[in-house]
Amino acid sequence: MSYRNTKVARILILSAMLAFASAAACASVLTRPLALQNLTVKQGLSSDMILYIAVQGDDVWFGTYAGGATLYNAARKTFTAYTTKGVPEDKADDGRSINWKNRLTYNHVSAIQVDGDRMWFGTYFYGFGGGGISCYRAKSKPAWRTFSTWDRRAKKIVSLAVDAGSVWVGSERGLTVLDKKTGQWVKFYSTQDGLAGNFVNALLNEADVLWAGTNAGISRWDKTRKAWKTYGAKEGLTDLDIKALVKAGDSIWAGTSGGLLFALDHSQDRWVEVKVPASLPHGGINALAASGMSVFVCRDDGVGVFDTADGRWDCLTSADGLPSDTVLCAAPARDGVWFGTDQGASFLKTPGQR
């Protein structure tokens, strides 16, 4: 992968300048009136607090706080909840539900990744048992498979990424690698190995590299050279607590807990702050998503929408119909974008969006 894409760099810098100059009310990027569909426990979600969303065709998986994972089929309008509660699915599962083999490892589902016909789930558990990752494959018998936490290295999961051979698992202790073929843990990385920080809040996989957003900056793993490169204040990150990463076109964006937004300038291999108009939400960033030419910035006080084609901004809040302004996650779908909040999920239909 080349990091000298000057054309992309010029577009990013121009977009940042346009955003900085635009202090007035944001221009309309979204097609109004907005078409929003909201889902809560009343419709069938297992919990209203949505921590993560993954889309696989008509299937929408919601990772929730305390409610496990809810599978919603958008075509059939059906809901299926998967939790550690209820009757065990297999005779091998007995005793405490937290030890069941054919379910989620815990009900706080913090990360989900689509992997062909498989789904990977990361869960977060505070105590001594539970937590870690699970794999779901509908055609398998049993459908669920759980994995050890490798001496608690992969226990409090906050991010996941998959490639052809590995599952990359970010936790509050570092980054753990699972070999998909053998089902065994093969590597663990921490600050001692070159990670910027041990809280791996976000992962972004590309063909040749893996990006890790941590509590102390961003690290890039070169899969060929088997080496880390770390980005911090010297590389333009004025806020090091990285909460989200996304690839938008040929560029990479990062969001922080303090609400700052950065884009990678490939020509300089540095991060450039993307200035946001004062009229838009400025709260802490929880997630980033890209769909078409738009980047969706999920914050504690709503969603900012950036058009990468012409540098225009728009916003989406509870005043537009979201269940809450606390937007925790987002995921693109075929004809729109799903958002997860602390009071339910919302689907924004985006007809004709670039």
The pLDDT assigned to 351 comes to 64
CA distance 308 to 288: 14
Inside any domain, residue 293? yes
pLDDT of 204 higher than 80: yes
**303 contacts 346 by C-beta, under 8 angstroms:** no
Q: What is the CA radius of gyration of the chain?
A: 20
DSSP 8-state secondary structure symbol assigned to residue 12: H
**21 contacts 27 by C-beta, under 8 angstroms:** no
Count of CB atoms situated within 10 Å of the CB of 132:
26
Count of CB atoms situated within 10 Å of the CB of 291:
21
Q: How many domains does the chain have?
A: 1
The 10s digit of each residue's pLDDT in 114-136 is 999 999 999 998 766 678 999 99
CA distance 230 to 222: 11
What is the rounded average pLDDT of the residues 157-177? Answer: 97
The 10s digit of each residue's pLDDT in 47-67 is 999 999 999 999 999 999 989
Specify the amino acid at residue 99.
Answer: N
The 10s digit of each residue's pLDDT in 214-224 is 999 999 999 99
- Residue 87: pLDDT band by 50, 70, 90 thresholds? very low
Inside any domain, residue 354? no
- Residue 267: pLDDT band by 50, 70, 90 thresholds? very high
Inside any domain, residue 233? yes
Q: Which of 329, 328, 323, 330 is nearest to 344 (CA)?
A: 323
- CB-neighbour burial class of residue 234 (10 A; exposed 0-12, middle 13-18, buried 19+): exposed
The pLDDT assigned to 187 comes to 97
3-state secondary structure of 17: helix
CATH no. for residue 131?
2.130.10.10
The pLDDT assigned to 12 comes to 45
CA diameter of the chain = 64
DSSP string for residues in 205-257 = E-SSEEEEEETTEEEEEETTTTEEEEE-GGGT-S---EEEEEEETTEEEEEET
pLDDT of 1 higher than 50: no
CA 78 to chain centre: 24
DSSP string for residues in 119-131 = EEEEE--SSSS--
Range of the domain at 112: 6-349
Q: Which helix (H) or strand (E) holds 15?
A: helix 6-21
Inside any domain, residue 81? yes
